[in-house]
Structures are given as C-alpha cells and as structure tokens.
Structure 1
Amino acid sequence: MAAAVAYQRKRALVIGINRYHRNSLQCCINDAEDLKAALGRIEFDVLHGIDCNIGQFYELIDEFVSGIQLTDLTLVYFAGHGKQSDNENYLLPSDYDYDFRGSESDYIIKHAINVQYIMKKIEDKRCCITILIFDCCRKSVRDRNPGIQGLSAMHASSHTLIAFSCAPGKTALDETQNGRNSIFTGSLLDHIKKPNIHIEDTFMAVAREVQSITGGFQRPFRSADLTEKVYLVANKVPVQPQVEASKQVNTQSCAIGQDTQISWKLKGIEKPQVRWFFNDQPLSTNDCLRVAEADDGTSTLFIRQTELADQGVYTARAINVVDAAEVKITLFIICIKPVIKFDLNASLEAMAGEAMTLKIIANGAPKPDIIWMRNSGELTTNDRIQMTTSTFDDELYTLTVLNVQPQDEGEYSAKISNVGGSLQSNNTYAIVESPVFVAKPITQKVKQGEAALFKAQIDGYPTPQISWLLNGKQLTAEEGVQMQFDATIGQTKLSIQKVDLEQHAGSITCRLENSYGNEEETVQLIVLDAPIIITQLPKEQETVSGRDVTLKVIVQGSPPPPSAQWFFKDILLGPENALVDEAKNEY
C-alpha cells in the first residue's frame, strides 16, 4: 500500500433533510442515517442532524468545527436541497421558504447555509484532510439566470476533496435504486467501507456506478487537491484479544443490596466478541444482570441490588479469529450488621387519647428488618397500631399508637436484624392522662337515720388522688364516713351510715387530682325527715287591746320546707297574716 496521509482521528458531520415547506424529499434522512452508521463502523466519530432548521444547522456546524484538531481527518456530508446564487452555493435548511416575492438572491443569503462559509471555518482549523460530500437535488434561483440548474463549480483548497452527486450546472435525481437511498449515496455506502482504497478511487468508482445506473443522466463530480493518498479504511492484521488494564485486580467487594459493576477493556484485531461467565457457567442476563459494550472495547457487567447469591467468580472471555483471552475477578458480597444511629429514649410519657410515636434510625446491609414488641409480645398492625419504614440509606423505623389507652403502658422494644446480626433497643413508656369521670356520682335522697351511698367511676394516669367533701369541707373517717377505691375497675365510693339532717344534708363533692390536672363533680344529699318544732309557741302571751301581736315557731324538716297552718279556737286562719322565713326556719 502506497504512502498515505497519517491522521489520528476521523470525525464527520452528517446532515439529511427531507421535510421542506416546498418540494419535500424522500431519501435524504435514510441517506444520512445509513452513512452515519457506515462511518461509525469504520471508526468515525459522527455528529448527526436531521430536518434541521437554519438555527440548528449553524449550531451543528459550530459544534463540529470547535472540536477539530490539526491531526484530524474531517468529513462533511449533506443530503437535501441545494441552490446556487451569484456563483456561490447554498445548502437549504428545512425552514427555507422563499415565496417568490422579491429577490431570492437576497433571501437566500439570510436563510440558507453558504458552502464557502463551511469550508472557510474548517480551513481555519488547518486539519490534515477535509472531505466534503454534497448529495443535493438542486435548482438555480428564479431571478438570476433562470436557465441554469445545479450548483456552481467549486475548486478544492489544499488537502481537500469535494464530491458532488452530479456535475456543475446539473441536477441529481431524487430517485432510489434500492428502495431506501438515493442512487449516489447508495453507491457510496457500498464503496466507502472497502479497505485500502484511496478516497479519489472510491469516488471514481461511485461516479462510474451512478452513470451506469442513470444511463449517463447523472454524472457525479469531484474536485481534489491532495498530495498523498487518503485511506478511510486500512486492512489490519488480526491480533489476539488482550486485556488493557494498568493493574489487574482479582477481587472486588460490594455491600449486599447495593448496585455494582465489573468492567474490563478487551481489545484485539479483529474486534473480539465478549462473553461473561459466573462460576464457569454462562451468565444469563435479566433485570438485575445487564451487559453493555462500549466502542472502545470496554465490556461492563452491571449487577443491580446484589444478593448473597451474586458472590462468586466472574469471567469475561474475549474471542476473535486468532484466539481467546479471559480475565477473572472474584466478587465478595459484604453483609453489615445493623447499627442504631438514633435510639429510643429510655423513658417517655404519652397522654391518653392522643397518638404516641416511637422512632429508631438504623442502617445495615442488607436493609434490616424490624419487629416491634410490648412487654416481650410482638405487635401487629391494626386500626390503632401503625408501622412504617423509610427507603433512605439511613432507615427510619416508626411505630405509632393512635388513641393511647392506659392498657398501652409497658416496655416497648425494637428488634432489628439482618443476615449480619441483630440488636434490640428497649424503652419504657408511661401513659399519662388527666383525671376524668367515667361515671359521675348522682344526687341521693335518704331518710333520716338511714345509709347514703355515693359511687363514681374514674380514670387518669397516674391514678388520681380522690377527696370527698361535704359542703366544701373534706370528709375524713373520723366523721363517721367510709371512703373506698377499687383500682381494678376505677370505682370510688362514699358511704354515710346514719344520715343526720343537721349534720349531713347539703352538697357532696368528689374531687380528682393528679400531676396532669384535676376534676370535680358536686351532687346533693337530701335528708328526708318529719318536721320538728324546735321553738314552741308561748303558753300565754299578754297584749293590749288594739295592738298587733306576733306568734312565732321555729321548725326543722327535710326539704322542701314544711308548710304551716294557723288555727284560732280550732278554726283555720287565712294565709294573709302568715309569714315564713325559710332561711331561719321561722313561721
């Protein structure tokens, strides 16, 4: 093979446009996509655009040109509409929409891409080789030389080759021979991949084939200024696959439940095929096991949410026509015993009727499980007990008890465990409640000398202190009363054995009190007794005739106050002269 230009990178800008406001095309997108794939197979780095408007077109040009280096071979390909105006050639973007009003020469300058603009930007980068390929279906603008069609002739600058799908002043056919590509690009796809062919010979072969297919109607044209041969593809002697690594690692670790990946760069000429094995058995891919191949020969095995079963020896085996090479690595799955990062408090209080929440933050690998217990009995979820676990790296475990009741009091513990081990945290909870009457005492009516019994059912935690009061004064056992409290059912009793009207009648109050509040309830003790005259009428009373005289007795009796009738010589007197002072029991 003759001496050739030595370049280090091959880079291409490939653009195809079918969709135009007027005269859309049929094959240009296929042409661009297929050439992109073909160039990629011969190790080109390709920037690709389809149906670009003028802004997108300029952005692609700027992005492509900005990455050009001195040692690059650059290739630009365009498939779409092209026009000439004032001996300059233009590539039409998808939003080109000349409406035949005014001068198209003025319109095209602002709304199309000047080919000389592209060439100038690339020339300024001084790369070693430039190849420009234009497969355009073209017409001359309508207001300048309407009889001329096609693009103007262009002369290649130094180290440049320009290839047109048709001769200057002529048009290319918007037809397809293979049902997918234009005639020119279809032929180019067949020839561009052939090794050890000088680029001018490639386009010479394409020109012969296109002329033959079209019966000489379409004659591809090229202009070149090359001083050495340019080969896009060169034959390479096959080389046995090799592992590229600065330092070969034989082991790798991963915490259970985490994602991991194993990567090896395996290269050879020709490119080897890589297969993966696990413990010397072919590895089948699935949702948790995935293999990705990069263009540089790197093969990566992705393992999602590792399990203990994933521990073992992984082998990447590369095979080509020369031989095979393999590399092994042992993956260890690490289990981490649970660690509590935020523990339960030693002792907490919760108000009865409200919600109680216990929280623990712990981590481990795999993610620990938790069992909540009260007084060594396992708790399960129900309408009052809720359990949640977060999905963050540090796991937050929560137990919530709704509408706390005194029976929820006890020692709560959380047992946290995984395959690496377990631990337990204890916590004593005291349930507190301000005093409340579950059943209130009621007013009693008792006959003189009989027993009176007042009962109330109470609740509260800690257990409230209970006091009974008579007319605001606290009662004691020394006063002949009995007070009892049954803590199992929360019932308190006040018993007065022999009720006395003077001593016991009035207000009975039951008062409850603990450190979280107090409550009291007042009722009446009504003593039923026959009226008793405490102060009698005088046996005799003298007065002067014509003066008023007042007779008074003091009477005691159970409510309501006794009624009184007055008699004179056994004749009932009318009520008009009778007065009653209930406060003093005077009649």
Structure 2
Amino acid sequence: MNAHKLWLTLALLACLHTFTNGQTYQKRLALIIGNSSYQHGGSLRNPVNDARAMAGTLQSMGFEVMKYEDLSSNDMKRVINEFGKRLAGNDVGLFYYAGHGIQHKGANYMIPVEANLQNEEQIEFDCVSADRVVSFMETAKAKVNVIIMDACRNNPFERSWRRSTNGNGLAMMNAPSGTLIAYATAPGTTAADGDGVNGLYTSAILKYIKDESLTLEQVFKKVRTEVEERSGRMQIPWETTSLKGEDFYVARGIKPVKQQQAVVERVNV
C-alpha cells in the first residue's frame, strides 16, 4: 500500500471512529411526572405505573430522565423549572404527564396530589399550567420537543361545584415551532383510567416508540389506531404538531446507555 492510499485509509478510519463515538448522537432530556395518590380527588390506578414504564423506556433510548411521582403544586413547579433550565443545549426535549388534568378558560392545568378544588376559581392558583412547560421549551429551542398529556380523565371535583366547567378533558394547545403535543384523547373528551397495569394510551406509546422504522408522527398515528380499536372508538388520541425539517425517528440516534447511568427518581422532593 503506497503512502497516499495509507493516508486515505487512516482518514476514513478516523472519520468512522468519530461517527461511532458519539458526535452524531442526540442529546436528549425528559421530565416524567405521574400523579396517582390524590388526597381529595380520588386515587388513580395507572399514572405512577405509566410514569415508571415511560421513564425506563426513555432511559433505554438515550434520554437523561427526570422522574417524579405524586407531586404537590410547589414540587411540580420546581421540577418543571429545573427541567426548563436544563433543556438548553439538548437536541430533544420530552415532557410526559399522567394524572388528573383540567381545562379552564381555554388553558390546560395539571392537578397536583394535594389539590382540593372547591370551585373553578381555585384552578389557576392551586394547579399547574401546561403552558409553563410550553414556555420553557420555546425558550430552550431544542430541535425537537414532545409533550405527552395522559391527563384526560373526568374532573373529580366538578360534582361539588355550584356550576360545571365549560368542557371536559383538555383543551387544544398551540404547538410552538418544532413541537408535537400529544393527548390521550381528543380535545374536550375524557378517557378512563383503565384496569391494567398501564393505561391504554401509554401502553400503546411504549409499544411503538421503540420501532426504528417509525417517525415520531408515525408512532402517534399507530398509537391512535390501536387505542381507537381497543377502546371501541370511545377514546381517540389526538396531536397538534409544528415539527419541521427532517423526519425525526425517536428510536434512532441513540447514545448507548452506560451501566452507571440511572433515572433521576425522587418520590418526594
């Protein structure tokens, strides 16, 4: 082998080494919250189980995962703020919430475990706005943002109110540039908690999100089809999206997970 061919071979090997040693891997951060043990609104079976399953799956797919269970309003705000601060510099940001949620004046709120909503006016003060997450994602400007809201259950407090809210389930949210927002069911409708270990919606996500042949949007199309069929058309998942550029494959571009890497898990913060 002459010197020129040797130089070309070494250059090619160097490029291959660079490619396989992480410079093309995506930096991914996920915040997972599951609220099940409601003090006043009635406990839910699935959210904590769903959060644990989602955290484990995403961690295996190269996400740095922040997972929390059964949070108060102050704790929810604090971990969302921490997530917002850490998002900058990541290629992919993902937020997943399972638990009670409610819409109020066209905005969506996640209900913390200690909430005791005696009237509709308390929602803005005692619950946590989903717009808080959207705002942090807009500021961080990751290439791809994903918000998954498995929070379309019936309002557990409404029966004690003097008047009912204007609409069940969650409201449609505008997806900022580069963002996909996914709902367990169509805006303004509700979904049951479910009888299995995991909820119907999250189970379908876990099934398809690891498929390397599917883009992010195709994952949720598959999820919608499966949930619709299994629920007898009683639950139809929904998305709003403003994704741009090249197709994003969640199961590709994954940095190998080191043995010492662990999910950040705190039941009480």
Structure 2 length normalisation: TM-score?
A: 0.80
| Distance in 1 between residues matched to 2:140 and 2:162, nearest whole Å | 36
- 1:117, distance to aligned residue in structure 2 (A): 1.9
Do the aligned partners of residues 169 and 7 (structure 1) sit closer, same or farther apart at CA in structure 2, a change above 3 Å counting? farther
Are positions 1:117 and 2:136 aligned together? Answer: no
| Distance in 2 between residues matched to 1:150 and 1:270, nearest whole Å | 38
- 1:145, distance to aligned residue in structure 2 (A): 5.6
Show the counterpart of 2:84. 65
Instruction: Give ranges in structure 1 of 5+ residues lacking alignment.
Output: 1-5, 237-268, 272-291, 297-587
Are positions 1:168 and 2:183 aligned together? Answer: no
Show the counterpart of 2:61. 42
| Distance in 2 between residues matched to 1:109 and 1:29, nearest whole Å | 24
> Does the aligned pair in 2 maintain the 1:84–1:139 contact within 8 Å?
no
Partner deviation per Cα, 1:157-189 (whole Å, 9 max, x = no partner): 10000000000010011113xx20000001111
Show the counterpart of 1:28. 47
Partner deviation per Cα, 1:4-55 (whole Å, 9 max, x = no partner): xx87311100000111122210110000001000001111100010000011
Show the counterpart of 2:211. 194
Helix, strand or coil: the match of 2:67? strand
> Does the aligned pair in 2 maintain the 1:7–1:71 contact within 8 Å?
no
**Structure with greater proportional helix content:** 2
> Does the aligned pair in 2 maintain the 1:139–1:149 contact within 8 Å?
yes
Show the counterpart of 2:249. 231
Aligned 1:436-451 pairs, distance under 5 A: none
Partner deviation per Cα, 1:236-279 (whole Å, 9 max, x = no partner): 8xxxxxxxxxxxxxxxxxxxxxxxxxxxxxxxx988xxxxxxxx
| Distance in 1 between residues matched to 2:241 and 2:143, nearest whole Å | 14
Show the counterpart of 2:105. 86
Amino acid at match of 2:222: A
| Distance in 2 between residues matched to 1:213 and 1:183, nearest whole Å | 8
Do the aligned partners of residues 133 and 197 (structure 1) sit closer, same or farther apart at CA in structure 2, a change above 3 Å counting? same
Aligned 1:343-422 pairs, distance under 5 A: none
| Distance in 1 between residues matched to 2:189 and 2:28, nearest whole Å | 31
Partner deviation per Cα, 1:442-484 (whole Å, 9 max, x = no partner): xxxxxxxxxxxxxxxxxxxxxxxxxxxxxxxxxxxxxxxxxxx
Instruction: Give ranges in structure 2 of 5+ residues lacking alignment.
Output: 1-23, 263-269
**Structure with greater proportional strand content:** 1
> Does the aligned pair in 2 maintain the 1:137–1:174 contact within 8 Å?
no
> Does the aligned pair in 1 maintain the 2:28–2:90 contact within 8 Å?
no
| Distance in 1 between residues matched to 2:127 and 2:247, nearest whole Å | 33
Do the aligned partners of residues 93 and 7 (structure 1) sit closer, same or farther apart at CA in structure 2, a change above 3 Å counting? farther
Higher Rg of the two aligned structures: 1
Question: In angstroms, what is the RMSD of aligned CA positions?
Answer: 2.3
| Distance in 2 between residues matched to 1:160 and 1:204, nearest whole Å | 16
> Does the aligned pair in 1 maintain the 2:153–2:193 contact within 8 Å?
no
Show the counterpart of 1:98. 117
Q: Structure 2 residue aligned with 1:216, among 230, 233, 252? A: 233
Show the counterpart of 2:70. 51
| Distance in 2 between residues matched to 1:147 and 1:14, nearest whole Å | 28
Amino acid at match of 1:224: T
Do the aligned partners of residues 13 and 205 (structure 1) sit closer, same or farther apart at CA in structure 2, a change above 3 Å counting? same
Do the aligned partners of residues 127 and 110 (structure 1) sit closer, same or farther apart at CA in structure 2, a change above 3 Å counting? same
> Does the aligned pair in 1 maintain the 2:208–2:219 contact within 8 Å?
yes
Amino acid at match of 1:110: F
- 1:144, distance to aligned residue in structure 2 (A): 6.3
- 1:62, distance to aligned residue in structure 2 (A): 1.2
Do the aligned partners of residues 171 and 70 (structure 1) sit closer, same or farther apart at CA in structure 2, a change above 3 Å counting? same
